[in-house]
Structure 1
Amino acid sequence: MALLQIAEPGITTAPHQHRLAVGIDLGTTNSLVATVRSGLAVVLDDEAGHSLLPSVVRYCASGDVEVGYAAQAAQNSDPHNAIASVKRFMGRGIADIDDVASLPYHFVDAPGMVQLKTAAGVKSPVEVSAEILKVLRQRAEASMGGELVGAVITVPAYFDDAQRQATKDAAQLAGLNVLRLLNEPTAAAIAYGLDNASEGIYAVYDLGGGTFDISILKLSKGVFEVLSTNGDSALGGDDFDQRIFCWMLEQGRFAPLSAGDMRMLLTKARDAKEALTEHTEVRVTAVLSTGEMMDATLTQAAFNAMTTGLVNKTLAPTRKALRDAGLSVDEVKGVVMVGGSTRMPCIRHAVAGLFKQTPLTNLDPDKVVALGAAMQADVLAGNRAGDDWLLLDVIPLSLGLETMGGLTEKVIPRNTTIPTARAQEFTTFKDGQTAMSVHVLQGERELASDCRSLARFELRGIPPMVAGAARIRVTFQVDADGLLSVSAREQSSGVEASVQVKPSYGLADDDITRMLKDAFTYAKGDMFARALNEQIVDAQGLIAATRAAMAEDAALLDAAETVAIEASIAALENLLAGTDHKAIKRGIEALNAATTEFAQRRMDQNVRRAMAGQKLEIFG
């Protein structure tokens, strides 16, 4: 009797075969690709035995594209066309980049995501990142001997919707099927949790070349639950290099630099920073194209002093993440260090001091994210069906809508576990309103103007009704990649509109951190502004309704009553020009009192009209 093989439709006709899937850490400084072999996650090397691929892409006038070490070697000689740290530009506009003047690239000032002018034409960060991903895909396929089923690509936990979407677009350009976008700290937790069979509360401190994330996770019986996350999507090792670069300018007292000299000094700065990881001092020498020279010694103590502010910029979000999770430092079982920048002694010392324990560094901080991503890819590809473990990630900032009066109504609060879907009902503001504008926001402030605008769309075809009668259900859905879609549906008619949120570019350098900080700094003022706007909206609605009623049933009022109501309306309108929400509320109450008798007469009249010609039968 023949044995039957059963496979899920559309997956494969040979379920016993190992499906080729990889995890990719698309880093600011270096990128890696890893896979699972014989049950173990391993990083894949190139032909020369290198596991790290420098995240540098060079566009040549001949049309050739160099990626990795060759492009890195050409940074000094061809600074305009050798693009490094492109991850910092993903999903961002030119106005979001603070250090444009110190970068040797030709930026194109155009709407949407920043563009870079190269010898091969204008390129977007998505296209540059795609070149890096393409090389990693080719490395994996050559090493594994076949075509990939898909890849899990890691992103900073604090990447916003636009930055995540840009990463997904880059993968598509590179010919990769994205199984999932995975937050880098979560990937690191997978590598540690599954490798060490750990359980308990862990902090993942992730300082890469261009981004910083701190995540608090709970590991329990195969469940990886992110309790909170915080960080800065524009803080990383590059900023420490910049401090040394500025120190070099002070030491050398150089004339204005050429693009080549600027890139050369930035490279020297990075080399000095890395040397200080192992040594207490480093000699820094440089000869510029102008013949100017510098020869100075940088001590670890001086480096620590000039970067104290940067180190503190990582500790403040770390404390905030602990508060959000409702935990104290003593409840954290271990601190996982991720990212090459965590090798700096000043970082390890600061983290050890905060958490009162030695951080975990037994896994290579450069490789741990890629290893965790490879484990997740192996599961999603169907190679480890017997493994029953679950990832519960969170969104970093609240999502909501703008309501009347320019207020923010939060639908999904920050640190909500994803994937998630939540709905809320809204209604119309005016009689006969047949359309509604839906403005999707991201942020923690009470006023829409203080939050980030993500998308706008319109719901049309709402049946004409009196104000407040329509019921519009707005649904927010955030998928496992952290990408958002929003739909609106009028309940009685079934008319619907939706949008796949894809902003033209992402948050500014410090937007996310600033949004969270501002939410607390301005909390009292925001609540006052919200209360004022709510009373203004109520007052405007009452005034409009009263005037409409007076126009329709003026005969029910005598002259004195009309004068009294008009006086109450005028008094309320005068109050709307002020900022005292309590006074406006009293004005609303006064107008309601002045129109109570009028409202009763209108009700009686409508009842008589409805009963006219009707025969009542009374049963005894």
Structure 2
Amino acid sequence: MEKVIGIDLGTTNSCVAIVENGTPVVIPNRGGYKTTPSMVAVTEAGKRLVGHIAKRQAITNAENTVYAAKRLIGRKWNSPQVKNAVATSSYRIVEGPHNDVRIVLRDKEFSVPEISAMVLQEMKVIAEDYLGEAVSKAVVTVPAYFNDNQRQATKDAGEIAGLDVIRIINEPTAAALSYGFGRNIEKTVAVYDFGGGTFDISILEIGAHGVFKVIATAGDTFLGGEDIDARIIDWLVSGFKEEHNIDLRQDRMALQRLKDAAEKAKCELSSVRETEVNLPFIISSGRNEALHLQRTLTRATLEELSDDLIERTIDICKQTLEDAKLEKNEIEEVVLVGGMTRMPKIQSAVQAFFEKEPNKGVHPDEVVALGAAIQGAALVDDRQEMVLLDVTPHALGIMTFGSYFEELIPQNTTVPTHRTKIFTTSRDNQTAVKILVMQGESQRAEENELLGEFILTGLRRAPKGQVEIEVTFEINADGIVSVRAKDLETGLEQSIQVTATSGLTREEIKTMMDNAKDDLVDRRTSEEFEAAKQEAEKLIAEIEKLFPQVQQIVASSDFGRDAIEKARAIVEKARAAIERRDAAAVKEQIEGLTRTHRMFKGVVAKT
């Protein structure tokens, strides 16, 4: 049976998992870590770096290192979230050709799905190294509150990375799958998911025989640990400005060091009461003297700095309970997901609101990827008894006369679903209607997200209000929307599948896929070469250490001198292959080197 990997594509870190022999497991990366930073960098030599290696050089290469790209995916250039990112990021963000967002690294423009694809490609490689075989199918998770454009852009990223994304599922839903996996329970559960860049709350009913039904979901796709880091950075910057009258934000390298220090301090304060932020030589003053930043941050100060952000998550929880028409006491379990839920203040705020101790039985960083892997296995294995009923996080409808938003599918409707409504013409002798498909919660159309548009023509000329048009909305299990409009009199029909634009055309996606493939081939071979080179160099060093002794022992016989010449030739050949960076040749020479090493050791041992 084909293997399907589950990928949690996170704002700060990403994680990949698989179901092996019926058990979901997280796959560690080459460094042995179970999560990989969602960071991408391009070096001076034009080499792409992903993950830990990108994070390690972020300070010295701040301008060409991307973090938190997920906060920009599927967004329009003029959105307030993008404006915020442009103002605070150490890398350059520019407007793309389709009113979308592009990131500039070493003078080359990348779309956001391309950056996310590099992270997904890294997760694919981690899984392939572990499994020892190629992987092509994946289930990728997204925040529950992502709109159609953001979901489509994530799907595009998967395609660019060479993955067939067989399903996009919501992160809190994935966490619930993992929480309920293999346990025959019947419970109403709230999943509070506070991650690096996004916040979600979902309420689910877990029933017997593996039925997971989402009742309501809500969130904020621009609220997460990054915002708490930003508050710490502001606090450090303003303190430094008061003391030295220098704004550290003007220096990209200083800003990246502050970002690192803020994240580290935040994490430390989950287990200690205070921590010292110490950044020597952070900047030099006008008089060329080096200035240091040294401040003590207490847990109480951090809680004060982030108080309104935590409060915002609780307000969203309150609203979600109202939407689900549930009382607090009807929630039987609260599951905490996402790295931010390690913060004591968040745990106590959740406990105070739900009036019960939250469940910390799942691993906050791994549970989402595990849930994605469980869903992946269920999709390819018919024997698995599991039914997942998710909901649409935003209302769907069309724009009507006067720029109003007419809802057809309400928020929190179980998908797949379809709804039909009848509309009429808005002016006399109207022969065509334009259907504008929108998603959002506002009654004013312009405040919602436009997903697509199409025109139904050939209507009969008649006074306004006489021609009836039937509009049908349909959402499939992936959350992809299609809309049909039909003239009830003539039966004429026009439809559109709303493949929400991620801001990329099919041609662009194809080009990016090809580029990503080239890069992967390049990276794979260089990794292969590095591994072979290390092994060969180790053997060469061992052989050379034994050379003088062996020479002394066997120099008297012709056979011995011959063997030594052969050994020298093998070492030289291996050196030449390393020089040429020829991985296959180096691998070939390893065999000869191993034989020589064994023979040398044998000769020395006999004496």
TM-score of the two chains, using structure 1 as the length reference: 0.76
Map of 1:224-263 to 2, 5 A cutoff? 224-253=212-241, 255-257=246-248, 258-263=251-256
Q: State the shift of 1:387 in Å.
A: 2.3
The correspondence of residues 353-432 of structure 1 with structure 2, limited to 5 A, is 353-382=352-381, 385-432=382-429
The alpha carbon displacement at 1:428 in A equals 2.1
CA contact (8 A) 1:192 1:198 kept: no
Q: Does 1:269 align with 2:262?
A: yes
Instruction: Look up the match of 1:324.
Output: 323
2:152 and 2:501 in contact (8 A); partners too: no
Counterpart in the other structure of 2:34: 51
* C-alpha separation in 2, matches of 1:444 and 1:88: 20
C-alpha displacement at 1:486, in angstroms?
Answer: 1.6
What residue in structure 2 maps to residue 294 of structure 1? 293
Q: Which amino acid in the other structure matches residue 457 of structure 1? A: F
**Residue 23 of structure 1 pairs with residue 11 of structure 2:** no
Deviations 1:215-237 (A, max 9, x none): 11111112111111111110000
Alignment counterpart, residue 39 of structure 1, candidates 3, 22, 37: 22
Matches of 2:293 and 2:275, distance apart in 1:
13
Report how far residue 74 of structure 1 moved.
1.3
Secondary structure at the residue paired with 2:63?
coil
| Structure 2: gaps (5+ residues) | 285-289, 504-607
CA contact (8 A) 2:188 2:203 kept: yes
Of 246, 261, 271 in structure 2, the residue corresponding to residue 278 of structure 1 is: 271
Give the deviation of 1:502 after TM superposition.
4.2
Contact 2:378 2:386 (C-alpha < 8 Å) held by counterparts: no
Residues 406 and 448, structure 1, Cα contact 8 Å, conserved in 2? yes
Post-superposition CA distance 1:21-60 (Å, at most 9, x none): 1110000010011000111000011222111110000022
For 2:34, the aligned partner's letter is S
Deviation track 1:540-596 (CA, whole Å, cap 9, x = no partner) reads: xxxxxxxxxxxxxxxxxxxxxxxxxxxxxxxxxxxxxxxxxxxxxxxxxxxxxxxxx
SS in 2 for 1:394: coil
Q: Tell me if the contact between 1:202 and 1:334 (Cα under 8 Å) persists in the aligned partners.
A: yes
* Letter matched to residue 333 of structure 2: G
Q: Which amino acid aligns with 2:273?
A: T
1: CA distance, partners of 2:49 / 2:484: 43
Partner amino acid for 1:167? T
Query: Helix, strand or coil: the match of 2:313?
Result: helix
Q: TM-score, normalised by structure 2?
A: 0.78
Deviation at 1:184, TM superposition (A): 0.3
> Alpha carbons of 1:310 and 1:431: their partners in 2 closer, same or farther (altered >3 Å)?
closer
User: Secondary structure of the equivalent of 2:452?
Assistant: strand
Unaligned ranges ≥5, structure 1: 1-17, 507-620
Aligned-partner SS, 1:58: strand
**Counterpart in the other structure of 1:94:** 77
Q: CA deviation at 1:197?
A: 3.0
> Distance between the aligned counterparts of 2:354 and 2:182, measured in 1?
23
Amino acid at match of 2:211: V
* Greater than 4 Å deviation, 4+ residue runs: 502-506
Query: What is the alpha-carbon distance in structure 1 between the residues aligned to residue 398 and residue 124 of structure 2?
Result: 40
Contact 2:153 2:501 in 1 (8 A): no
Are the counterparts in 1 of residues 483 and 497 from structure 2 also a CA contact under 8 Å?
Answer: yes
**Superposed displacement of residue 494, structure 1:** 3.4
In 1, are the aligned partners of 2:240 and 2:247 still within 8 Å (CA)? no
Q: Structure 2: which amino acid aligns with 1:77?
A: T
**Residues in 2 aligned to 1:37 and 1:204: alpha-carbon distance in whole angstroms:** 26
Partner of 1:167: 154
d(CA) in 2 for partners of 1:293, 1:498: 63
Q: 2:46 aligns with which of 63, 68, 71?
A: 63
User: What amino acid sits opposite 2:86 in the alignment?
Assistant: V
**SS state at 1:417 partner:** coil
Per the alignment, in what secondary structure is the counterpart of residue 397 of structure 1? coil
2:444, 2:29 → 1: CA distance? 51
Amino acid at match of 1:104: S
1:542-581 matches, within 5 Å, as: none
Residues 202 and 130 (structure 1), Cα distance of their counterparts in 2 relative to 1, 3 Å cut: same
Write the distance in 2 (CA, Å) between the matches of 1:467 and 1:305. Answer: 59
In structure 1, the partner of 2:437 is 440
SS at match of 1:94: coil
- 8 Å Cα contact 2:198/2:220 also seen in 1: yes
The letter for the 2-side match of 1:75 is: A
Instruction: Determine helix, strand or coil for the equivalent of 1:418.
Output: coil
Matches of 2:182 and 2:261, distance apart in 1: 37
Q: Which whole-Å CA distance do the structure 1 matches of 2:20 and 2:255 have between them?
A: 43
SS at match of 1:327: coil
User: 1:69-218 alignment to 2 at 5 Å?
Assistant: 69-96=52-79, 97=82, 98-110=84-96, 111-119=98-106, 121-218=108-205
Whether the 8 Å CA contact 1:432–1:464 is kept in 2: the answer is yes
Query: 1:195 deviation in Å?
Result: 4.0
The answer for the alignment partner of 1:341 in structure 2 is: 340
What secondary structure, in the 3-state scheme, does the structure 2 residue paired with 1:95 have?
coil
Letter of the aligned partner of 1:351 in structure 2? V
Q: Quick one: distance in 1 between partners of 2:501 and 2:22?
A: 41
Deviation at 1:270, TM superposition (A): 0.2
Change (3 A) 1:505 1:150: closer
Mapping 1:577-592, distance limit 5 Å: none
Q: What's the CA shift string for 1:320-376, capped at 9, x where partnerless?
A: 111111111111111111111111111111111111222111221000000011000
C-alpha displacement of 1:453? 2.7
CA distance in 1, matches of 2:99, 2:490: 37
How far apart are the structure 2 equivalents of 1:336 and 1:401? 36
How far did residue 434 of structure 1 move? 1.9
Q: For 2:362 and 2:429, locate their aligned partners in 1 and report how far apart those are by CA, in whole Å.
A: 64
Give the deviation of 1:102 after TM superposition: 2.0
> Is 1:462 the equivalent of 2:455?
no
Q: Contact 2:6/2:372 (CA < 8 Å) preserved in 1? A: yes
Alpha carbons 2:140, 2:169 under 8 Å: kept: yes
Give deviations 1:445-484, integer Å, cap 9, x for gaps. Answer: 3332343333222111224445434332211122222222
Offset at 1:431?
Answer: 4.1
- Contact 1:215-1:228 at 8 Å conserved across structures: yes
When residues 41 and 120 of structure 1 are mapped into structure 2, their CA distance, relative to the original with a 3 A threshold, is farther
Distance 1:309 1:263 in 2: 25
Counterpart CA distance in 2 for 1:178 and 1:89 is 20
